[in-house]
Amino acid sequence: KQIYLKDYAPPAFLISETYLDVVLDPAETRVKSRLSVVPNPALKRRATEIKLDGELLRLLRVCIDGAPVDEQRLVATDKDLTIRDVPAKPFTLEIETICDPAANKALSGLYLSRGVYCTQCEAEGFRRITYYLDRPDVLSKFRVRIEGVKPDTPVLLSNGNLVQTGDLPGKRHFAVWEDPFPKPSYLFALVAGKLAMVEDSIMTRSGRAVTLRIYVEPGKEDRCDWAMKSLKRAMRWDEDRFGLEYDLDMFMIVAVSDFNMGAMENKGLNVFNDALILARPDTATDSDYERIEGVIAHEYFHNWTGNRVTCRDWFQLCLKEGLTVFRDQEFTADQRSAVVKRIEDVRWLRSMQFTEDAGPLAHPVRPSSFIEINNFYTRTVYNKGAELCRMLQTVLGRDGFRKGLDLYFDRHDGQAVTVEDFVSALGDANGADLSAYLLWYNQAGTPTLDARLSYSEGAKEARLTLSQTFPDLPGQPKRKAVPIPVKLGLLGPNGGEIPLEVEGKPVDGGLVVLSKKKEVFTFEKVGSRPVLSLLRDFSAPVNLNAGARDKDMLTLIRADTDLFNRWQNAQAFALKHIVALASANAKGENARVEPRFVAAVGEVADDDTLEHAYRAAFLALPSESDVALAIGENVDPEAIHQARTLLRAAMGKSLRAILESVYERSAPAEPYNPDAESAGRRALRQSALSLLAAGKSRFGIARVKEQAKTATNMTESFGALSILSQVGGEAYDQALQRFHRRWKDEPLVINKWFALQASSPSPDTLARVADLVANPLFSIQNPNRVRSVYGAFAHGNQVRFNDASGAGYDLIANAVIEIDGFNPQMASRLVGAFESWRIFEPKRRALAGKALGRILDRKELSPDVFEIVSKIVGER
Ligand code: ARG
Ligand code: ZN
């Protein structure tokens, strides 16, 4: 059933207070709720019945104001409970139900993960715990009593403050938690089990002493340091940058091993996928460390952007997610290298979000309808949503944006609000009308920005014509022009920056805003024909069509004063180049690698005045799926794979001397330190070695083999193993076996071992994947394992997933069908990998279409998978 934003209606009832009494039991957990229900005073008409959400619950008893409600007044379906003839004034509603955490493999609601009870309530999981008004605009004060068997569940946690504990007969005990901040049910959490704990503390800026606790599986306490340090840095940063302080005396994080997503921001009790908490130098890579830091910050930042101010309805999801991603990006930029972080984010956005926005799953940052909200925790809502916040900050300036957020919290603390409320606060605080930016939230698709520069020698003027177009998307209405902030610069013949002047005034921060379909900007006092450096910092999420000449692009790669744009031009050049190589390849023509490009990249790699991480990012070519997206139709993934491999080999060969020297002189200090500087050195060495191996350098291959044996940290150990996987042969097989023997008891490390094999372009990968899922270390019920095998294969191995035999499609279709039987969220994520099927050549398209049809033919499909597959198959 489709749900529409335009149908939003405020709730007929509010719940001012919620008391829960949860008696834990693996198969029969008993939940008694006592709700203070109030007719919504904002509504004129009093409702006579109340409809509560509830799923998979066994209803035992309902009382209103202490008196049992008889059966005739109750109507229960498989998703709700209606109670008729309720009082027209506030009343107390008591409900007793039973749920089955052990049987819950969907990992939504209350479930057991390796003996630990935990909850995931966002978006609509709370209704699997008790009947409730399970919607974000019903905010309630929670008091929660948890009771369990002490030896099985010595730790009993919920949101807020611990107010009471006690022992009970029969080795039982209980704890009572109270959260003083009213919250929607999606922020509720409960955790109980045998957990070890690491504790620290921090003093907030205004003098609140906050206890910080991280709960993990016993024995993993030595892997929490980095998460704890990251948390403390995030708390401090939010005070400094946004003036936001923590508001309870305790902040807790729990790591669990079965979790559908990354993590969850439940008030005062964040629950994490353990992959995003646990880190030790020998088990986690530099990228793991960076992700942990970022996600810890993300969930912590939700305390204000999401929890104190929440969403009115789920269509507003970007209100909290876009803004919180933007905040965590800014945090990481400050902790590490700002330009490298921007490069990472833009690379990801263009390859993942642009793909989504160009395909059958395209939707506005704020969608207008959905079947299953869990399908909208997307790259568009999160990452394009973050870009929109960044764009607003670019337009208002950092201080203006901060003023806007201050006003947003002043106005809306404790409320459930909309995107309009957010944009109005930003505008009002700055005396600006930002309403045109709402179009960005309401229209799907990535606009294309066209730029043409002409120069008049006589007038000494450079005329820049900017215009925008939207692609045609099936099922999307005609779209209007959006305001596009464009940061730019003009470079003189020797690479120097020319001051920008329009109508006698300097252009602030090099920023112009295209606010119509087409506009001309005339820059004055330009002495000679300039080179245009456009869309610096990626100031808007658009496809850039600058029509630049190769010569100008090479100038920008070498000499732009803006580091981001040097990278952006190198990527654009590489992309164009690989597309040309692939097309030559497909036609059986001889392709030639562009030596000027290779040389320019070599210069950057060799430049010790630049950060190591930046140089590493420069050496990374666009991915095979980036190339496929750029080609857009009749794609032959083999041709792309070969073209990209050819370019990498050529780079490895012609840059051999530079890369060997860079490798030798970039060694990080010992012992291992996960900081940005050391990580950057390791990243650069890894890129160098990987290209050297691609170019068959004996030096490179010897180093890799040695590193695979002797490395003492996971970054270098796994880095070497991944390079060996490109080289193949006996050395690779032996290294794989060694890695397996050493790490078979460490699930998080074994995930890497799985993922590497599933991502290999080698033709035997299909057979390998079949072996991997039969491996006793694999479990289809564990999301991390599914992601590391099926996910890595479907989302990260374009050439084998789209194998000409169709076997890749069948493998994933079968997995989707199986997983959908117990975990629809995970199944629908996986099936999303088919989103680009129509861009491939006809044979593959037919095979993919058949596999999708086979899924769609199933009678017992979840709404989750149905929504995704029916859109992907769509009419066109
Ligand atoms: N709010 C969480 C976060 O981004 C993610 C929760 C996703 N839940 C879901 N059912 N899709 O931090
Ligand atoms: Zn989030």
The predicted-structure confidence for 137-193, as pLDDT tens digits, reads as follows 999 999 999 999 999 999 999 999 999 999 999 999 999 999 999 999 999 999 999
Q: How far, in Å, are 3, 52, 861 from residue 77 at the CA level?
A: 19, 10, 19
Q: Dump pLDDT digits (tens) for 526-573.
A: 999 999 999 999 999 999 998 889 999 999 999 999 999 999 999 999
Q: How confident is the model at residue 314 (pLDDT cuts 50, 70, 90)?
A: very high
> E-assigned strands of 457-552?
461-469, 484-491, 497-498, 501-502, 505-506, 511-514, 518-523, 531-534, 543-545
Residue partners of 618: CB distance under 8 A and separation at least 6:
566, 567, 570, 601, 604, 605
**Ligand with an atom nearest the CA of residue 264:** 1
Strand partners, 451: 466
Phi/psi of residue 548, nearest 5 degrees: -70, 150
Q: Is the pLDDT of residue 439 over 90?
A: yes
Q: Cα–Cα distance between 847 and 853 in angstroms, integer?
A: 10
Q: Is the pLDDT of residue 876 over 70?
A: no
Pocket probe mutation, ligand 1, options 186, 253, 264, max atoms within 8 Å of Cβ: 264
Q: Is 356 an active-site residue?
A: no
**Ligand with an atom nearest the CA of residue 123:** 1
Please identify, by atom number, the ligand 1 atom nearest to the C-alpha of residue 125.
10
Residues 542 and 448: beta-carbon distance below 8 Å: yes
Mean pLDDT of 346-352: 98
**Ligand with an atom nearest the CA of residue 265:** 1
**Ligand with an atom nearest the CA of residue 327:** 2
Q: Which pLDDT value is given to residue 83?
A: 98
Strands 543-545 and 448-456: what pairing?
parallel
Please identify, by atom number, the ligand 1 atom nearest to the C-alpha of residue 306.
1
Please identify, by atom number, the ligand 1 atom nearest to the C-alpha of residue 124.
10
Q: Dump pLDDT digits (tens) for 678-735.
A: 999 999 999 999 999 999 999 999 999 999 999 999 999 999 999 999 999 999 999 9
Which run of H or E residues covers position 790? Answer: none
Computed over every residue of the chain, the mean pLDDT equals 97
Q: Give the distance (Å) from ligand 2 centre to CA of residue 357.
A: 20
3-state secondary structure of 366: coil
Q: Give the distance (Å) from ligand 2 centre to CA of residue 325.
A: 7
Q: Give the distance (Å) from ligand 1 centre to CA of residue 854.
A: 30
Phi/psi of residue 48, nearest 5 degrees: -100, -15
Q: Give the distance (Å) from ligand 2 centre to CA of residue 188.
A: 15
Nearest 5 degrees, angle CA 6-CA 9-CA 15? Answer: 145
Name the catalytic one among 94, 265, 299, 716. 299
Please identify, by atom number, the ligand 1 atom nearest to the C-alpha of residue 123.
10
Q: Give the distance (Å) from ligand 2 centre to CA of residue 343.
A: 21
Q: Give the distance (Å) from ligand 1 centre to CA of residue 59.
A: 28
Minimal-distance CA residue to ligand 1 atom 5: 264
Q: Give the distance (Å) from ligand 1 centre to CA of residue 261.
A: 7
Residues 406 and 243: beta-carbon distance below 8 Å: yes
Q: Dump pLDDT digits (tens) for 30-41.
A: 999 999 999 999
Residues 51 and 71: beta-carbon distance below 8 Å: no
**Ligand with an atom nearest the CA of residue 261:** 1
Residue partners of 733: CB distance under 8 A and separation at least 6:
none
**Ligand with an atom nearest the CA of residue 120:** 1
Q: Is the pLDDT of residue 474 over 80?
A: no
Pocket flag, ligand 1, residue 263 (CB < 6 Å):
yes
Q: Dump pLDDT digits (tens) for 478-526.
A: 899 999 999 999 999 877 899 999 999 999 999 999 999 999 999 999 9
Minimal-distance CA residue to ligand 1 atom 11: 374
Q: Cα–Cα distance between 454 and 464 in angstroms, integer?
A: 7
Pocket probe mutation, ligand 1, options 119, 126, 261, max atoms within 8 Å of Cβ: 261
Q: Which tokens sit at 101?
A: 């955490």
Mean pLDDT of 344-365: 97
Pocket probe mutation, ligand 1, options 122, 126, 259, max atoms within 8 Å of Cβ: 122
Q: Give the distance (Å) from ligand 2 centre to CA of residue 259.
A: 15
Strands 505-506 and 501-502: what pairing?
antiparallel
3-state secondary structure of 833: helix
Strand partners, 213: 199, 252
Q: Which tokens sit at 300?
A: 């912590």
Pocket probe mutation, ligand 1, options 186, 305, 377, max atoms within 8 Å of Cβ: 377
Minimal-distance CA residue to ligand 1 atom 12: 264
Minimal-distance CA residue to ligand 1 atom 1: 264
Q: Is the pLDDT of residue 473 over 90?
A: no
Q: Is the pLDDT of residue 471 over 90?
A: no
Q: How many other C-beta atoms can be found within 10 angstroms of the C-beta atom of residue 829?
A: 27
Pocket flag, ligand 1, residue 122 (CB < 6 Å):
yes
Pocket flag, ligand 1, residue 374 (CB < 6 Å):
yes
Residue partners of 234: CB distance under 8 A and separation at least 6:
293, 296, 297, 300, 301, 331
Pocket flag, ligand 1, residue 261 (CB < 6 Å):
yes
Q: Dump pLDDT digits (tens) for 44-91.
A: 999 999 999 999 999 999 999 999 999 999 999 999 999 999 999 999
Q: Return the C-alpha torsion angle 560, 562, 563, 564, nearest 10.
A: -110
Q: Give the distance (Å) from ligand 1 centre to CA of residue 35.
A: 26
Please identify, by atom number, the ligand 1 atom nearest to the C-alpha of residue 295.
12
Pocket flag, ligand 1, residue 123 (CB < 6 Å):
yes
**Ligand with an atom nearest the CA of residue 263:** 1
Q: How many other C-beta atoms can be found within 10 angstroms of the C-beta atom of residue 43?
A: 13
Strand partners, 464: 453, 521
Q: Is the pLDDT of residue 238 over 60?
A: yes
Please identify, by atom number, the ligand 1 atom nearest to the C-alpha of residue 377.
11
Q: Which pLDDT value is given to residue 476?
A: 72
Strand partners, 143: 19, 178
Pocket flag, ligand 1, residue 299 (CB < 6 Å):
yes
Residues 538 and 519: beta-carbon distance below 8 Å: no
Closest CA to 616 of 555, 649, 569, 659: 659
Closest CA to 270 of 158, 431, 142: 158
Q: How confident is the model at residue 875 (pLDDT cuts 50, 70, 90)?
A: low
Pocket flag, ligand 1, residue 321 (CB < 6 Å):
yes
Phi/psi of residue 166, nearest 5 degrees: -175, 155
Pocket flag, ligand 1, residue 264 (CB < 6 Å):
yes
Minimal-distance CA residue to ligand 1 atom 3: 264
Q: Cα–Cα distance between 351 and 355 in angstroms, integer?
A: 6
Question: Within a 13 Å sphere around the CA of 28, how many CA atoms are in the beta-carbon half?
Answer: 4
Q: Cα–Cα distance between 594 and 588 in angstroms, integer?
A: 18
Q: How many other C-beta atoms can be found within 10 angstroms of the C-beta atom of residue 250?
A: 18
Residues 753 and 742: beta-carbon distance below 8 Å: no
| Greatest Cα pair distance in the chain | 95
Q: Return the C-alpha torsion angle 420, 303, 336, 625, nearest 10.
A: -60
Q: Give the distance (Å) from ligand 2 centre to CA of residue 264.
A: 7
Q: Cα–Cα distance between 559 and 494 in angstroms, integer?
A: 8
Q: How far, in Å, are 207, 423, 646, 693, 730 from residue 699 at the CA level?
A: 57, 56, 20, 9, 18
Q: Give the distance (Å) from ligand 1 centre to CA of residue 353.
A: 17
Model ipTM over 0.90: yes
Minimal-distance CA residue to ligand 1 atom 8: 122
Q: Give the distance (Å) from ligand 2 centre to CA of residue 184.
A: 15
Please identify, by atom number, the ligand 1 atom nearest to the C-alpha of residue 263.
12
Q: Give the distance (Å) from ligand 1 centre to CA of residue 449.
A: 32
Q: Which tokens sit at 501?
A: 């002047």
Q: Cα–Cα distance between 812 and 826 in angstroms, integer?
A: 12
Pocket flag, ligand 1, residue 377 (CB < 6 Å):
yes
Sheet-wide strand order for 80-83:
50-53, 80-83, 74-76
Q: Which long-range contacts (CB under 8 A, 24 or more apart) does 102-105 make?
A: 102/26, 102/27, 103/27, 104/56, 104/128, 105/781, 105/822, 105/823
